[in-house]
Amino acid sequence: MSIAPNKSEVHKFWNDASCGENLYLRGESLRDQFNEQRSQRYKLEPEILEFTRFENYKGKKVLEIGVGLGADHQMWAEQGCDLHGIDLTERAINWTKRRFETFGLTSNLQVGDAENLPFPDSEFDVVYSWGVLLYCPDMYRAISEVHRVLKPGGEAIVMLYHKWSFVGYMLWLRYALLRLRPWLSLKYIYSEYLESKGTQAFTVGEVRDFFKEFESVDIDINLTHGDLLTSQAGQRHEGGILSIARMILPRSIIKRFFKNHGLFMKIRAMKKG
Ligand SMILES: C[S@@+](CC[C@H](N)C(=O)[O-])C[C@H]1O[C@@H](n2cnc3c(N)ncnc32)[C@H](O)[C@@H]1O
């Protein structure tokens, strides 16, 4: 039973609909839709702004891996960054190009693969990637590519999924326990039921090992709207069991005693200067 990501399945999943496209890209003008998507994104995931602190990187040379609909890419552009962006899918690159045309912004956007970055060594001050590298079959290779293209003293800002999260526990209850298959591992559950097939979630120890080439690595975990069921869940989930879970989830207990059991593992890593 392989749980490794398969890149053509990952490509198909995200090329059918970019991340959040079905939820937020509705409405009249493209400008309004992009504005609405961006404002909903940061309302739902305020940790993106709090953790990344885009405003601290004005004018830097930045690569974003996995631009999706391009909201964070727009944040980088608005800081006057010398900006490059890649995504595995044509769809995400097209959305981000349309966003940038709509707002009169500039970036060098191209289809590309995190495991084979189409850039020379020591090129960027910052490599940013939010919820993307976890779809790579070879995580060591993906992180080593991030390290390679960073300048000495450059910074990686990355979000990966955390294995010990309420999102994982709830998916396990639903798809392992309630289906009388309690032997299924959390890793298997993430890979089958979270997003695209092969989605991976990691322990802190695993992530420290992926980033071992870096001089310093800071990791922070937080409970997300998915862990607390305070939003519509991701592209794949809906139905009666989820509605019941929304009603009975003991949010205040989780926030008080289990705040390290969130899905988002945010990583800041510095390359040796
Ligand atoms: C969950 S979405 C996140 C998009 C965006 N960063 C965001 O936070 O909305 C994952 C994105 O990663 C892209 N992706 C997956 N594997 C990739 C790879 N090997 N290289 C580059 N992009 C990849 C997908 O095409 C998709 O657009």
pTM (predicted TM-score): 0.95
Token look-up 């800081």 returns 79
Is residue 185 predicted with pLDDT exceeding 60?
A: yes
Which of the four pLDDT bands, split at 50, 70 and 90, describes residue 238? low
Token look-up 């305070």 returns 230
Is residue 232 predicted with pLDDT exceeding 80?
A: no
Calculate how far, in angstroms, residue 7's C-alpha sits from the geometric centre of ligand 1: 11
Other Cβ atoms closer than 10 A to 193:
18
* Every domain of the chain and the residues it spans: 7-163+200-225+260-270
Torsions phi, psi for 130 (to 5 deg): -110, 105
Hey, is 218 helix, strand or coil?
A: strand
Cα 80–Cα 85–Cα 90 angle in degrees, nearest 5: 140
Cα separation, 168 vs 162, whole angstroms: 9
Residue nearest to atom 17 of ligand 1 (CA): 88
Residue 56's identity, in one-letter code, is N
Token look-up 């552009």 returns 77
Most ligand 1 atoms within 8 A of CB, residue of 11, 18, 19, 90 to mutate? 19
pLDDT in tens, 98-127: 999 999 999 999 999 999 999 999 999 999
Which of the four pLDDT bands, split at 50, 70 and 90, describes residue 53? very high
Which of the four pLDDT bands, split at 50, 70 and 90, describes residue 237? low
pLDDT at 234: 53
Most ligand 1 atoms within 8 A of CB, residue of 40, 88, 128, 225 to mutate? 88
Which of the four pLDDT bands, split at 50, 70 and 90, describes residue 27? low
Which of the four pLDDT bands, split at 50, 70 and 90, describes residue 220? very high
Calculate how far, in angstroms, residue 145's C-alpha sits from the geometric centre of ligand 1: 16
**Nearest CA among 273, 269, 271 for reference residue 133:** 269
pLDDT at 120: 98
pLDDT at 57: 98
Calculate how far, in angstroms, residue 92's C-alpha sits from the geometric centre of ligand 1: 8
**Which residues are near ligand 1 (CB < 6 Å)?**
10, 14, 18-19, 65-66, 68, 86-89, 92, 113-115, 130-132, 135-136
Output helix, strand, coil percentages for the chain, rounded to the nearest 5: 45, 20, 35
Most ligand 1 atoms within 8 A of CB, residue of 9, 13, 14 to mutate? 14
Mean pLDDT, range 154-167, rounded to an integer: 98
| Percent of the chain at pLDDT exceeding 70 | 95
CATH code for residues 7-163+200-225+260-270: 3.40.50.150
Bridge-based pairing state of the strands 82-87 and 108-111: parallel
